[in-house]
Amino acid sequence: MRMWRIIGQGTQALGTNKMRTFFMMVGTIVGIAALTVIMAMGNGAEQKVMKRIEGFGPRAIMLIAGGGKDLPPPDLTVTTLTLDDAEAVRDKVHGIEAATPVAFKRNMPVKAGATQSTAMIFAVEPDWHEAWDWYVSDGDAISAADVATLAIVCVIGQTLSHDLFGSESPLGNYIRIQNVRFRIKGILEHRGTSPMGTDFDNRVLVPLSTGMRRLFNQDYITYVRIKVKNLDRIKSVQKQVRQLIHERHHITPPQEDDFRIVSAQAVGELARGTSGTLSILLMALAGLSLLVGGVVLMNILLISVGERQKEIGLRRAVGATRKDIRSQFLAESLAVTCSGMLLGGGLGTVITLILEHTTQVPIVLSWEPFALSLAFALLVGTFFGVQPARKAASLNPVEVLR
């Protein structure tokens, strides 16, 4: 009961000067609101990373033509990777389930009658479906016979199917790509949008031989998609592939590689690194706001102690102990920071919801920011409330009442 009475007295004292109390809360409100938004953005970024890894394939490795250490889209003008390289990977690298060569072009015009659209064109082999875990939902996939005979057939994505044929089935119909007439033999399963914003379903698959000779007129490939049998063999397979291509391309240090090997882990680490750097910066700003708020809180409480000396002396004269005075001012400090935490959490939630509905920023609200906000509020309230509480408790009641 005594503790509740002290808390009530502290809250009542704060209520007598609402404007001062609000100014003591401002720093905490801003800091907690920023913390809530930052953590929601961080959770959203983490979810985006997981979607990117899932879309890439956790057991997948990409051997991409062209050097460099970053992860940009493949340079379609690079000619360093060949079908023989893909065949060597398939035959000589241990621990892989599939290795399929791919050549592709972006934004090529595709026509069906008078209707025209653009799509990415992928020249593939039959094991492309296994390597990507992506199969046809209707019709037939690209077959070995299609590749062997340079068949003029294709499999299309559902976005392109809708754009060119509407609600009608495209199976058995024809599309024209660069004046080459392809018969549609299958429709790919729906895959949706990639984390980078690319429509996975706006694509056409054609036999690798047909694409390289009839469409692209090239003798090189863009990348090799490799599917590893077990996750724990990813690094081993990467090492084998790198050594193999070094040998085939006669690359010795300090020569730079003319290829890149990308894994799901590399994609995830890049995304985490980018979002993590931003989160650290924003967390530092939120921490600075809380620090400034704590300093403001302490200074205003110290001023309050000076203005309330007679009140403190009177309370001591009627029996209040130093511990009671110290507890009251600590209660006031904690009341300010906890109230600021509630208001800041509410403000942060509102800002987060607005960002979610008005921007493309990934947002995921969870309980963690509120638990962390409570911990910060208690820490700031206690740390910055100690000095004013000590000063108030150390006052001599005789001197302040004289």
Res 55: pLDDT? 63
Higher-confidence residue of 162 and 308: namely 162
Tell me which DSSP letter residue 78 carries: -
Q: What is the pLDDT of residue 157?
A: 94
Higher pLDDT, 336 or 60: 60
pLDDT at 251: 87
Asked whether residue 22 carries a pLDDT value surpassing 50, the answer given is yes
Please write the tens of the pLDDT for every residue from 140-175: 999 999 999 999 999 999 999 999 998 899 999 999
Q: Where are the domains positioned within the chain?
A: 2-51+269-401, 79-257
Residue 65 pLDDT > 60, yes or no?
yes
- The tens digit of pLDDT for each residue in 77-88 reads 778 899 999 999
Average pLDDT, the chain: 79
- Predicted model pTM: 0.62
What pLDDT is attached to residue 109?
93
pLDDT for residue 3 = 46
pLDDT for the residue 6: 45
Mean pLDDT, residues 369-381 taken together: 76
pLDDT, residue 11, reads: 54
Nearest to 334 by CA among 7, 5, 1: 7
Q: What is the mean pLDDT of residues 205-217?
A: 93
Q: How confident is the model at residue 54 (pLDDT cuts 50, 70, 90)?
A: low
Specify the range with the lowest mean pLDDT, choosing from 153-162, 240-249, 275-284, 349-358.
275-284
Task: Name the pLDDT band for 196 (thresholds 50, 70, 90).
Answer: low
Measured distance CA(292)–CA(305) in Å, rounded: 20
Provide the pLDDT confidence category of residue 128 given band limits of 50, 70 and 90.
very high
What is the rounded average pLDDT of the residues 62-68?
81
Residue 317's CB: how many other CB atoms inside 10 A? 12
pLDDT at 138 over 80: yes
Indicate the pLDDT class of residue 18, thresholds 50, 70 and 90: low
Tokens 């490795």 — which residue? Answer: 61
Compute the average pLDDT of residues 170-196: 87
What are the pLDDT digits (tens) for 250-301?
888 778 888 888 877 666 565 555 555 656 666 676 677 677 777 777 777 7
Q: Please indicate whether residue 217 or residue 66 has the higher confidence score (pLDDT).
A: 217
Give yes or no for a cis peptide into 254 (omega within 30° of 0). yes
CB-based contacts of 52, cutoff 8 Å, min separation 6 = 194, 195, 196, 267, 268, 271
Highest average pLDDT, of 66-75, 215-224, 384-393, comes from 215-224
Provide the sign of the torsion angle of the four alpha carbons 85, 90, 94, 96, taken in this order: positive
In which band, very low, low, confident or very high, does the pLDDT at 397 lie, cut at 50, 70 and 90? low
Q: How far is Cα 206 from Cα 225, in angstroms, rounded to an integer?
A: 16
The CA distance from 362 to 356, in Å, is 7
pLDDT tops 70 at residue 99: yes
Residue 59 has pLDDT above 70, yes or no: yes
* Most confident among 12-21, 186-195, 260-269 (mean pLDDT): 186-195
d(Cα 283, Cα 305) in Å, to the nearest integer?
Answer: 33
Residue 118 has pLDDT above 70, yes or no: yes
β-pairing, 223-228 with 60-65? antiparallel
